[in-house]
């Protein structure tokens, strides 16, 4: 496996397939679990947003949504174990059959309540599957690190009430987050980002503060996945050292860890409406 500039192994190939089988096959072996650990925090924030603004059907924007994993966990009250079971060792299914099974899964297991899910990702194939399967209701295929959103993309992003992510911050920066925060122009979405400890969140928090947010870090740390190779662990430990983060008892034990950052508007009138 190759590595990226942070020392992490590159898993780009699992995000460019027409369906999620390679994604889950690869990540199951690495114990990937951050969406499962994030789920109750997202559920709680969404419910808090509903109550704060009397919003019955909030729109949730998942940055780096890939195949719609966070949406599937929320919409179908699924677990990562459920999804691993659905997709791993299923090479005998035709692509169309897999899509049909997932659409039926959403139809039968989807919870009522009206929450809408919008996915943002640079992988068109992953977004297409998430949309076709019914995990997300709307897709924005864009690289907001490189470009401002187009007018149609901005109109879609402006409808977001709550913005979530589980691991993309660090690969996307304050450029993407700021463009999303300013999409509406007046109203600010609430945000919850799970960020690997080797990526300082201060640049994002500073850009959000300038836009009118207060950001707090939730106590505790959250496992993301095991290191893929000893080389990956060594390089990530070096990256942690370079940014002043002590890995002892955490990354030294073989896992990547994330922290949760919650950002809300300073002024209630710029929040739910």
Domain ranges of the chain: 12-270
The whole-number pLDDT of residue 183 equals 97
The whole-number pLDDT of residue 8 equals 75
Cβ neighbours for 140, distance < 8 A, ≥ 6 positions apart: 118, 119, 120, 121, 149, 153, 156, 157
Question: Is residue 2 a contact partner of residue 9, using CB atoms and an 8 Å limit?
Answer: yes
- Choose which CATH entry (3.30.9.10, 3.30.565.10, 3.30.2450.30, 3.40.50.150) describes domain 12-270: 3.40.50.150
Mean pLDDT score of the chain, rounded to an integer?
94
The whole-number pLDDT of residue 223 equals 98
Enter the pTM of the model: 0.95
CA distance 136 to 119: 6
- State both tokens at 73: 């966990």
Q: Tell me the average pLDDT across 26-51.
A: 97
The whole-number pLDDT of residue 220 equals 96
The whole-number pLDDT of residue 7 equals 66
- CA angle 258-89-75, nearest 5°? 50
CA distance 192 to 208: 12
Query: Does the pLDDT of residue 3 top 90, yes or no?
Result: no
Query: Among 14-18, 36-40, 178-182, where is mean pLDDT lowest?
Result: 14-18
**Nearest residue to 15 via CA among 157, 171, 153, 149:** 171
Question: If you write DSSP's letter for every residue of 88-111 in order, what string do you get?
Answer: TT-TTS-HHHHHHHHHHHHHHHPP
The whole-number pLDDT of residue 92 equals 81
Query: Among 40-54, 59-73, 102-116, 192-206, where is mean pLDDT lowest?
Result: 102-116
Query: Among 55-59, 61-65, 258-262, where is mean pLDDT lowest?
Result: 55-59
Query: Does the pLDDT of residue 150 top 60, yes or no?
Result: yes
């Amino acid at each position: 496996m190759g590595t990226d500039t942070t020392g992490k192994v590159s898993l780009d190939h699992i995000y460019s397939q027409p369906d999620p089988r390679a994604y889950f096959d690869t990540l199951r072996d690495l114990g990937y679990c951050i969406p499962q650990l994030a789920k109750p925090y997202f559920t709680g924030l969404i419910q808090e947003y509903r109550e704060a603004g009397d919003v019955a059907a909030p729109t949730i924007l998942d940055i780096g949504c890939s195949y719609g994993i966070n949406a599937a966990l929320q919409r179908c009250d699924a677990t990562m174990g459920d999804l691993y079971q659905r997709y791993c060792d299923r090479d005998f299914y035709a692509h169309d059959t897999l899509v049909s099974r997932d659409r039926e899964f959403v139809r039968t297991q989807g919870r009522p309540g009206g929450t809408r899910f919008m996915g943002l990702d640079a992988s068109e194939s992953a977004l297409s599957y998430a949309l076709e399967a019914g995990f997300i209701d709307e897709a924005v295929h864009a690289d907001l690190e490189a470009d401002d959103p187009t007018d149609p993309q901005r109109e879609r992003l402006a409808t977001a009430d709550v913005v979530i992510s589980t691991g993309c911050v660090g690969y996307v920066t304050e450029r993407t987050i700021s463009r999303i925060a300013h999409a509406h122009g007046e109203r600010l979405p609430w945000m919850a980002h799970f960020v690997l400890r080797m990526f300082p969140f201060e640049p994002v928090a500073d850009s959000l503060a300038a836009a009118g947010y207060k950001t707090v870090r939730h106590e505790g740390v959250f496992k993301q996945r095991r290191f893929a190779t000893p080389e990956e662990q060594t390089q990530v430990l070096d990256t942690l050292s370079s940014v002043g983060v002590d890995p002892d008892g955490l990354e030294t034990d073989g896992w990547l860890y994330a922290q949760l950052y919650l950002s809300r508007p300073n002024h209630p009138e710029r929040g739910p409406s």
